[in-house]
Structure 1
Amino acid sequence: MSASASWSYTAKATLWPLLGRDDWAGQDAFGAPVAFDCDYSAKAERRVNARGVEFVTRQLIYTEFAQAKQGDFVLIGESTATDPVAAGALEIRAITRYADTFDRAADDFEIAT
């Protein structure tokens, strides 16, 4: 973790990776929850995801955690729940990558739900 990230990413969030979708049952399968360091804000702004779909953000999460991907679910705070929807997690709609300008140790990411 870069020096600036250890200073600024003092909150925790939990990610449930999307493993796949069962089209017959209409259910998503998620991996085990993973906690990571972050900072966050609640901000409603219009965005476009990687597929060109327009949406309005609910939360923006800032982190060096690089394993998040569109379709995963994320929750502000730590959780060990197996069902992200029941835990109150939101779907990741878009991810923006930024360079680690100061340390060049790890890139930063903005996760939009």
Structure 2
Amino acid sequence: MSATSRWVYTNQATLWLQTGKRDPYTREPLFSGPHVIACTFENMGDTQTDDNGQQFVPRDTVWHEDSLPIKSGDRIVIGDALDDAEPPATAKAIKKVGGWDMSFFGEAPDFVLYT
């Protein structure tokens, strides 16, 4: 974690990434095991446009520096939920992923997730 992020990303969120496979019976997406990331968040946020061009107001906006290949459709819970092998009912679907360059500080990129 970069020096700048260390003092900002003091919370945790748990992510479940889609595996690209589907349950053969329900056709629901299958997910990897949980990943905990350091983050900061706010409930709600400004209007965003998802990958399909639909506008939405995020339920959560989560900023982080983790390099996991997070994409729309993955699930997230604010807090440490490592005991849950599958996304719990409270997990929210990620609708948009963004990021910005931090190389001018000599640091890794930062990312934002909208649910």
What is the TM-score normalised by the length of structure 2?
0.86
How far has the Cα of 1:46 moved from its partner?
2.1
After TM superposition, which residue ranges in structure 1, 4 or more long, deviate above 6 angstroms? Answer: none
How far has the Cα of 1:100 moved from its partner?
1.3
**Structure 1 residues 55 and 85, CA gap change in structure 2 (3 angstroms):** farther
Q: Provide the alpha-carbon RMSD of the alignment.
A: 1.7
Aligned equivalents of 1:44 and 1:106: distance in 2?
Answer: 24
Between the two proteins, what is the percent identity of the paired residues?
30
Instruction: Give the match for residue 57 of structure 2.
Output: 56
How many equivalent residue pairs? Answer: 112
Comparing 55-64 with 101-110, which one deviates more in the overlay?
A: 101-110
Aligned equivalents of 2:34 and 2:97: distance in 1?
Answer: 19
Aligned equivalents of 1:72 and 1:22: distance in 2?
Answer: 15
Q: AA paired with 1:69?
A: K
5+ residue gaps in structure 2? none
How far has the Cα of 1:2 moved from its partner?
1.3
Q: AA paired with 1:63?
A: H
How far has the Cα of 1:56 moved from its partner?
2.0
How far has the Cα of 1:101 moved from its partner?
5.7
- 2:74 aligned with 1:82: no
**Structure 1 residues 102 and 3, CA gap change in structure 2 (3 angstroms):** farther
Aligned equivalents of 2:85 and 2:78: distance in 1?
Answer: 15
Instruction: Give the match for residue 93 of structure 1.
Output: 95
- 2:108 aligned with 1:106: yes
Q: AA paired with 1:90?
A: K
5+ residue gaps in structure 1? none
How far has the Cα of 1:104 moved from its partner?
2.7
Q: AA paired with 1:3?
A: A
Comparing 20-29 with 37-46, which one deviates more in the overlay?
A: 20-29
